[in-house]
Amino acid sequence: MLVDKETCSQVRDELLECVGDVAFPCVGAKSALARGTLKVLVCHSITSAWDDVRIHSELLEWAYAYRADPTGLRSLAVAFEGPSHLTEERFEAAMWERIQSLADKDDWRGQPYDERVSADPMDMHFSLSFGGEAFFVVGLHPNASRPARRFPRPTLVFNLHDQFERLRDEGRYERMREKIIERDVELAGHPNPMLSRHGEASEARQYSGRVVGDDWECPFRDPRAA
């Protein structure tokens, strides 16, 4: 079931309009949009595995292209037609179902896990790995409690971990992070309680945007974690 061209165009325009909105806090995404390195892949449903092979192929190409040219910020946004009625809990469950399926395909296709990060989702150095490159995910959907995570469609934004390590090495990461936090507080009225730096707590807790407690357990298990 392919998404028709008219719907693809509509979904893509909705996402780009949200990122381009003056109130949207993520300056990294805005930079990618301005540079033309924010790619939008429109898929059918976040609760369906229908597009998982296509998504994984895009992630492989994204990883390979980054290694060939690691300059600038880039993001791959996978925007789904729907469903639009998911609660935060149901969106989180669907998000991890898609991520699990993608990780299984990465293993099936013989891709190595990025050795710079951990495959254990409860480890403070955890990141996902596709095509040998570490990724983290930002989940967006219509019913998110954080205004910055509200998008018209369920969306998973895949970001390369290494590009932020490069910013850190260049001394540019902390200032960008401060700007994002400042803009997020202006939008929501209070800081995001789930926000932490890589290496302080597992980033898996932040993917869906839902506030989770200390007893939260990640449902994801990478087949290469052993």
Return the DSSP state at 197.
-
Helices (H) and strands (E) in the chain, counts: 6, 5
The answer to whether residue 26 is domain-embedded is yes
Torsion of CA 169, 172, 175, 180, to 10 degrees: -100
Quote the percentage of the chain above a pLDDT of 90. 63
pTM: 0.92
The answer to whether residue 214 is domain-embedded is no
Residue 152 has a CB neighbour count (10 Å cut-off) of 17
Distances in Å between the Cα of 79 and the Cα atoms of 92, 140, 221 are 15, 9, 24
Strand partners, 139: 156
Give the mean pLDDT of 14-32: 81
The answer to whether residue 41 is domain-embedded is yes
Q: What is the pLDDT of residue 21?
A: 82
Residue span of the structural domain in which 185 resides: 5-206
Tokens of 89: 């809990």
Structurally, how many domains does the chain consist of?
A: 1
The answer to whether residue 28 is domain-embedded is yes
The answer to whether residue 48 is domain-embedded is yes
How close are the terminal C-alpha atoms of the chain, in Å?
35
The answer to whether residue 12 is domain-embedded is yes
Give the mean pLDDT of 154-158: 96
